[in-house]
Amino acid sequence: MSERPDAPPWGAVITAALRRSRLSARQASRQAGISEGRWRQITSGYQIVSPGVYAPVRGPAGTLARMAAVAGVSAADLRAAGRADAALVLEDRASRGADAELLDRIRAMDSEQARTLLLQIAEQLGITMSGAAGAADERQYGT
C-alpha cells in the first residue's frame, strides 16, 4: 500500500479558510456548485482509485476559483499556493461582478442623475462638453 499524499498548497489554503469561515465542506461545495466528494478530492489533491492507490487530482482553474470565493480565499493566496491560473479566474469574476454592480447602479439613475454623473466624469477626464448636449448643459449648469 502506498502512503496517502499530502494536500497540495492550494488545498490546504482552502481547507484552512473553510475552517475559519465555519462552513462545512457540504455547505461550501453546494455554494460552489460541485459535489462534496469532488470538493474533498480537489482540496486533498487525490482520489482513491482502489485501497491504498491514490491518483492525483488537480481541479480546473474555474472550479478552484469558485471554491476559493466560497471559502474566502484571495487571488493573492491562490498565487502564493501555486495556482496563478485560478487566481486570474477569481480576479476576472470579481471584476465582472463589480462592473455589473456599477452598471446596475447607473441604469437605476434618472436622467438628471445620469447627466450629472457624465459631467463629473468629463470634468475628471478634462473633457470639454461641446455640441448640443454641451450647450444645453452650459445653460442648465452654467459650466
Residue 115 belongs to what domain range? 109-143
123 pLDDT higher than 80: yes
134 pLDDT higher than 60: no
Better pLDDT: 98 or 125: 125
Better pLDDT: 23 or 108: 23
Same domain, 65 and 131: no
Same domain, 102 and 49: yes
Show the DSSP H helices in the chain as ranges: 9-21, 25-32, 36-44, 61-71, 75-80, 84-107, 111-125, 131-141
Same domain, 44 and 88: yes
Would residue 3 count as lying in a domain? no
pLDDT band at 110 (very low <50, low <70, confident <90, very high): confident
Q: Which residues lie below 8 Å from residue 78, measured CB to CB, with a gap of 6+? A: 10, 13, 64, 65, 68, 84, 86, 87, 90
64 pLDDT higher than 70: yes
Same domain, 31 and 81: yes
Number of domains the chain is built from: 2
What CATH number is associated with residue 84? Answer: 1.10.260.40
Of 39-48, 63-72, 88-97, the range with the lowest mean pLDDT is: 88-97
132 pLDDT higher than 60: no
74 pLDDT higher than 60: yes
Would residue 4 count as lying in a domain? no
7 pLDDT higher than 60: yes
pTM (two decimals): 0.68
